A and B are shown apart, each in its own frame.
Chain A
Amino acid sequence: MAGFIQQRLLRWLDKRIPAQPRFSLHRGNIFIFPSRFGWLYLLLCLTLFILGTNYQNNLILLLSFFLMALMLVSLFSSYLNFAGLNLQPGKLANIYAGNPVSFPLWIESRKEGKAGKLHLAWFGEKVQSAVELDNFTNPATLNLFSAKRGKLQLPRLTLCSYYPLGLFRCWTHLAFDFHLIVYPTPMLPLWPVSHRDTTSAGQQSVSCVKEGQDLDDFDSLTDYRLGQPLYHIAWKQAAKGQGLLSKKFSSQTQQSGWLILHHIDQHLEDNLCRLCQTCLEMDARGWEFGLDIPGKVIPPGKGKEHVRQCLVALALVKGVADVTS
């Protein structure tokens, strides 16, 4: 039931506040309603009014009216403080499934004098962090997490503020036009590398890249990157406090190969994870490699852009469920 309501709400929100690359808050996308304390406060005003009337006491009545007027005035103040904020997501590299990353959000304002806490949360989830508008450094960050590989549409971002007296909750649900590719989680063991003779297609020999094998000569040190195997870390340098560095080896024997996934079966997700790990490994070793997976063939190559292409291809492979249905 709750899920159904949330679905309806999201559909309505898609119409009301369609996705945009950046948002400026105004009356079209702000919601405002008394907070829980606001309702308590209204009840209090009513009680004070009854108390004042029953004791025929003008001062209590004045107090009650004053508190009511204050609520009215704070409605405007609350809205004015919230409206006019400009929000824009920061740059974010693609991420691996299962690894949380910080999602940066830039908050700016055309006008001076914005104040109060701004609570940040993903739609339907708990408040993750709060920034105080009169004292914070851009960008504000939120944890973003996806357990599944593939294309990730950013969930709606909920921002709310209780400024100035906590009587009103001003909030908005923003959908940013912001796509992320979530790569599969790198996983061992490595995928076997095939050697395809370019002249006579179809003939191929398979060999496995095993850990510790074929790693001939130490070549150089590079920055450690996520996904590289731990045993490549130069621990000696790490102990000296130089940060995590990764040893790069040059191999004389094999410098190119193909990673081939023939068909989609129930082990698809695991296979993709292994392929992902292998891509990173090959790149770390400086090999040329090509990727051949159902629906996509990427000719051998190397370099950052090539790895990125491969990883994107891996992330976007249709799942078992999609193929069978």
Chain B
Amino acid sequence: MLRLNPSAHNNAHLLLTLILMALSLTLFEPLQLWVLLLVLCAVIIRVSLYLNWQKHQLSIRTLNLMAILCAIVLAYFGWQLGLLLGMLNLLVMASSLKLMLLASRRDYFQLIGVQFFLLGAALVFNQNIAFSLFYALLCVLLLLSLACHINPSARWPILIKRVGKLCLQALPIAVLMLLVLPKLGPLWQMPTGKGTQTGLSDKVSPGDLAQLARTDDLAFRVTFEGNAPPMSQRYWRALVMEDFDGSNWQVHPYRRKLQERYKGANQTFSPQVSGPAHSYQIIAEPTKQRWLFALDVATSQDSHVWQSHDYTLQSRIPLQSNLAYRVRSYYQTALHEGIPNLDKRLNLQTPEQANPRTREWASQLKAQNTSAEQIIQAIAKFMQQQEFRYTLKPGRMPVDPVDRFLFEEKAGFCSHYASATAYLLRLSGVPARLVTGYLGGEMRGDRYMSVYQYDAHAWVEWLSDEGWQRLDPTAWVAPLRLQFGLEQAVEFEQSFLADAPLANLRNIEWFNNLRGLMADMDYWWSRWVLGFDQQNQQDLLKALLGELKLWKLLLFSFTLVAVIALLLAAYHIRPWLQARQNLPHWYYQKALKLLARYDIQRPYWQGPQDFSMSLATKSDKQSLQHFAILTRCFTHLNYRPLTAQQKKRLVRQMRHQLRKLKRSLAKK
């Protein structure tokens, strides 16, 4: 059966259609291409219905067929997408199918609800200022579509004004709620998208890091509460790799299993700390992974941060979007073994095969030197004497990479040095492991520090009697890397950000200024909007209230409720103010109310003059006279052309008469 067209010139439907399209386009990355095409189809159908080119809707049978087809395709692709992206695709697909079908009020309302939810889901994927503003616009447009649906004959300016007013009224309340309502930790595990993970990975082959260091994406931002540590101390630990198979390092499977178990039992590692500390907040960019970054021995009180026994921090939720957390780093505290004996045992394991020349040299080292320090010195001396080079473009080393690096190439990136050193140490009987993370960070003024992907770094930790010691073999060959960062360290080979687009614009001053300004805005946005957390909230309250005490908090909450009530009352009271503005009317109404109190009602069909005449029998003479004068003033004010002065006089007279009327009625 053909169904008639409910959308012809229906603005609410058109607006909804356009919003769905815009929203899907911003989700270009997480959505599948065919889902986007489906949205486009739905939009075309809807628009041609709107313009009445197409007079009839699709038949239900066609749509059902299409729905089944889509469901099969989604089920087929969905397995690889993971829950989050799968759900998102499903939602967009379902709403575009519903859009094709859209006919009844119920369809419309359901679709609006889903759009609001999609808006929220889109904020998981895109959160920078531009996208947020765009989504705010879409939200207002959705409300506009609703208003248009409820009141289709109103003109656009009126609708816009109405919705704008509602939004402006609601916004302060919403901001207040965000600032004051206690912030909860994540309630349960949310699925994460299986999209391309960015940043460091939990498995490192030495060449990987050099790849990563060629991009200038932001990794995270730090706001220090005191002074920032010097450049050469900014070792941001992220991952500890304890399993080496001859070429690749990765997080040890046993360690991983252990972490799962502790996490399952909700036990967190709390290291013994002492001495001075840096306090700072980190806002990490989305990586779709769980590990976080911190300096030295770090502790965090945040409920969504979990600490592992290898002193790394992990997030309880995958970093689907920006994540803010607070850390205290005790830079003088030693890293003791997290689990005694286990660390030692894990970090002495070496592969049986692979790298024969290295093994041979290591046994020589072990024979010649007695202490770990001496071995390290020997390795350093070897590298310096052999004139090892630091490069962003290391050669390929597919077989026996450590042999190849140490005895043939003699040039590599930080991960080559770290990998070779840790391996040598293990072979010589010193427990050692590879740590990946970032080294450095660009301070902007004294406010915040940005750490980029090209700051990615790998170094070694070896176990002494005092705990784990940091050792950075890169420093032996490229001291500039420590002091000034990667750009200086590889300046000679012109390889820094060589394949990044717009890289040569970095030398133009105004462009750099602009970049800095944008970065500042972005920082401000992520720090105060995306990164607004429990601590900020408490700080804010403290700044407002001083010491936080129960009675103060209670008082404050009452004040807030009162403020909201007042806000609402202010919106509400306006009509009353307007009534007061028309003074003659106001006085006349008051007079009528006075008379009504003495059982003299004006019938609704009677004009003021007639009413005044009809009173003759009902009241005493004096009140009657006052009311008659008042009525005359009222009619004159309303129906006679008067100068401003005359008007003023009449209004004053009305006020006098009203007072007299009151007195004479009371006397009676």
Whole-angstrom distance between the Cβ of A114 and the nearest chain B Cβ: 11
Chain B CB within 8 A of A55 CB: yes
Chain B CB within 8 A of A297 CB: no
Check A69–B150 contact: CB distance below 8 A.
Answer: no
Q: Which residues of B lie under 8 Å from residue A59 when comparing CB positions?
A: 123, 127, 132, 135, 529-530
Contact of A80 with B177 at beta-carbon distance under 8 Å, contacts A40-B113, A48-B120, A54-B187 already known? no
Closest to A62 in B: B178
Contact of A72 with B170 at beta-carbon distance under 8 Å, contacts A116-B151, A166-B150 already known? yes
Check B167–A70 contact: CB distance below 8 A.
Answer: yes
Check B150–A56 contact: CB distance below 8 A.
Answer: no
Check B190–A76 contact: CB distance below 8 A.
Answer: no
What separation, in Å, do the CA atoms of A62 and B180 have in the docked complex? 12
Question: Which of B56-64, B139-147, B644-652 faces chain A?
Answer: B139-147
Contact of A37 with B173 at beta-carbon distance under 8 Å, contacts A44-B116, A56-B317, A111-B575 already known? no
Of B113, B169, B190, which one neighbours A73 at CB under 8 angstroms? B169
Contact of A69 with B113 at beta-carbon distance under 8 Å, contacts A51-B121, A80-B575, A111-B575 already known? no
Of B135, B174, B183, B320, which one neighbours A69 at CB under 8 angstroms? B174
Closest to B173 in A: A69
- The interface residues of chain A, by DSSP majority, are classed as helix
Interface size band for A: 35 or more
Of A36, A41, A165, which one neighbours B147 at CB under 8 angstroms? A165
Check A53–B120 contact: CB distance below 8 A.
Answer: no
Q: Which residues of B lie under 8 Å from residue A65 when comparing CB positions?
A: 173-175, 177-178, 181
Chain A CB within 8 A of B184 CB: yes
Chain B CB within 8 A of A60 CB: yes
Interface string of B160-187 (1 = CB under 8 A from A): 0011001101110111011001011111
Check B151–A69 contact: CB distance below 8 A.
Answer: no
Q: Which residues of B lie under 8 Å from residue A222 when comparing CB positions?
A: none
Chain B CB within 8 A of A117 CB: yes
Check B123–A63 contact: CB distance below 8 A.
Answer: yes
What separation, in Å, do the CA atoms of A10 and B572 have in the docked complex? 32
Q: Which residues of B lie under 8 Å from residue A117 when comparing CB positions?
A: 150-151
Q: Which residues of A lie under 8 Å from residue B181 when comparing CB positions?
A: 65
Q: Which residues of A lie under 8 Å from residue B143 when comparing CB positions?
A: 70, 165
Whole-angstrom distance between the Cβ of B92 and the nearest chain A Cβ: 16
Chain A CB within 8 A of B655 CB: no
Of A48, A53, A115, which one neighbours B117 at CB under 8 angstroms? A48
Q: Which residues of B lie under 8 Å from residue A135 when comparing CB positions?
A: 153-154
Check B116–A66 contact: CB distance below 8 A.
Answer: no
Q: Which residues of B lie under 8 Å from residue A63 when comparing CB positions?
A: 116, 119-120, 123, 139
Chain B CB within 8 A of A258 CB: no
Q: Which residues of B lie under 8 Å from residue A134 when comparing CB positions?
A: 151, 153-154, 158
Q: Which residues of A lie under 8 Å from residue B378 when comparing CB positions?
A: none
Chain B CB within 8 A of A155 CB: no
What separation, in Å, do the CA atoms of A48 and B575 have in the docked complex? 35
Q: Which residues of A lie under 8 Å from residue B127 when comparing CB positions?
A: 57, 59
Interface string of B335-353 (1 = CB under 8 A from A): 0000000000000000000
Chain B CB within 8 A of A102 CB: no
Chain B CB within 8 A of A207 CB: no
Chain A CB within 8 A of B149 CB: yes
Chain B CB within 8 A of A64 CB: yes
Check B529–A40 contact: CB distance below 8 A.
Answer: no
Q: Which residues of A lie under 8 Å from residue B110 when comparing CB positions?
A: 40
Check A58–B171 contact: CB distance below 8 A.
Answer: no
Closest to A66 in B: B174
Check B124–A51 contact: CB distance below 8 A.
Answer: yes
Chain B CB within 8 A of A89 CB: no
Check B532–A58 contact: CB distance below 8 A.
Answer: yes
Of A57, A66, A116, A162, which one neighbours B171 at CB under 8 angstroms? A66
Whole-angstrom distance between the Cβ of B329 and the nearest chain A Cβ: 22
What separation, in Å, do the CA atoms of A31 and B313 have in the docked complex? 55
Q: Which residues of B lie under 8 Å from residue A61 when comparing CB positions?
A: 178
Interface residues of B in 297-320 (CB under 8 A from A): 304, 317, 320
Q: Which residues of A lie under 8 Å from residue B150 when comparing CB positions?
A: 116-117, 162-166
Check A80–B320 contact: CB distance below 8 A.
Answer: no
Q: Which residues of B lie under 8 Å from residue A55 when comparing CB positions?
A: 124, 186, 190, 317, 320-321
How many A-B residue contacts, CB cutoff 8 Å? 152
Chain B CB within 8 A of A92 CB: no
Check B178–A58 contact: CB distance below 8 A.
Answer: yes
Check B178–A166 contact: CB distance below 8 A.
Answer: no
Chain A CB within 8 A of B407 CB: no
Chain B CB within 8 A of A139 CB: no
Chain A CB within 8 A of B382 CB: no
Q: Which residues of A lie under 8 Å from residue B149 when comparing CB positions?
A: 166
Q: Which residues of B lie under 8 Å from residue A68 when comparing CB positions?
A: 174, 177
Of A52, A56, A57, A73, which one neighbours B568 at CB under 8 angstroms? A73
Contact of A69 with B177 at beta-carbon distance under 8 Å, contacts A165-B143, A165-B147 already known? yes
Closest to A38 in B: B109
Chain B CB within 8 A of A320 CB: no
What separation, in Å, do the CA atoms of A135 and B155 have in the docked complex? 11
Interface residues of B in 94-140 (CB under 8 A from A): 109-110, 112-113, 116-117, 119-121, 123-124, 127, 132, 135, 139
Q: Which residues of B lie under 8 Å from residue A73 when comparing CB positions?
A: 166, 169-170, 173, 568, 571
Check A67–B116 contact: CB distance below 8 A.
Answer: yes
Interface string of B201-214 (1 = CB under 8 A from A): 00000000000000
Contact of A44 with B113 at beta-carbon distance under 8 Å, contacts A64-B120, A165-B166 already known? yes
Contact of A47 with B186 at beta-carbon distance under 8 Å, contacts A72-B173, A116-B151, A164-B162 already known? no
Contact of A115 with B154 at beta-carbon distance under 8 Å, contacts A54-B188, A73-B568 already known? yes
Check B124–A57 contact: CB distance below 8 A.
Answer: yes
Q: Which residues of B lie under 8 Å from residue A50 when comparing CB positions?
A: 187
Chain B CB within 8 A of A216 CB: no
Whole-angstrom distance between the Cβ of A31 and the nearest chain B Cβ: 18
Chain A CB within 8 A of B36 CB: no
Check A72–B568 contact: CB distance below 8 A.
Answer: yes
Q: Which residues of B lie under 8 Å from residue A223 when comparing CB positions?
A: none
Determine which residue in A47, A65, A134 has the highest number of CB atoms from chain B within 10 A of its CB, and name it: A65
Closest to A136 in B: B153
Chain B CB within 8 A of A74 CB: yes
Of B166, B185, B532, which one neighbours A74 at CB under 8 angstroms? B166
What separation, in Å, do the CA atoms of A221 and B523 have in the docked complex? 91
Check A163–B151 contact: CB distance below 8 A.
Answer: yes
Q: Which residues of A lie under 8 Å from residue B147 when comparing CB positions?
A: 164-165
Whole-angstrom distance between the Cβ of B615 and the nearest chain A Cβ: 23
Q: Which residues of A lie under 8 Å from residue B411 when comparing CB positions?
A: none
Chain B CB within 8 A of A143 CB: no
Q: Which residues of A lie under 8 Å from residue B532 when comparing CB positions?
A: 58
Q: Which residues of A lie under 8 Å from residue B186 when comparing CB positions?
A: 53-56
Chain B CB within 8 A of A219 CB: no
Whole-angstrom distance between the Cβ of B125 and the nearest chain A Cβ: 10
Chain B CB within 8 A of A204 CB: no
What separation, in Å, do the CA atoms of A132 and B149 have in the docked complex? 12
Q: Which residues of B lie under 8 Å from residue A70 when comparing CB positions?
A: 143, 166-167, 170, 174
Contact of A52 with B120 at beta-carbon distance under 8 Å, contacts A57-B127, A134-B153 already known? yes
Check A76–B124 contact: CB distance below 8 A.
Answer: no
What separation, in Å, do the CA atoms of A80 and B116 have in the docked complex? 26
Chain A CB within 8 A of B323 CB: yes
Interface string of A107-136 (1 = CB under 8 A from B): 000010001110000000000000010110
Q: Which residues of A lie under 8 Å from residue B323 when comparing CB positions?
A: 56
Q: Would you list 8 pairs from A and B whose C-beta atoms are within 8 A, ordered by A residue?
A: A37-B109, A55-B190, A55-B320, A62-B178, A63-B139, A65-B175, A65-B177, A73-B173
Q: Which 5 A-B pairs have the closest CB atoms?
A: A69-B173, A69-B170, A66-B174, A65-B174, A70-B170
B interface vs A, CB < 8 Å?
109-110, 112-113, 116-117, 119-121, 123-124, 127, 132, 135, 139, 143, 146-147, 149-154, 158, 162-163, 166-167, 169-171, 173-175, 177-178, 181, 183-190, 304, 317, 320-321, 323-324, 529-532, 568, 571-572, 575, 604
| Extra pairs beyond A56-B186, A76-B568, A115-B162 (8, CB < 8 Å) | A44-B117, A56-B185, A56-B304, A62-B174, A63-B116, A69-B174, A70-B143, A135-B154
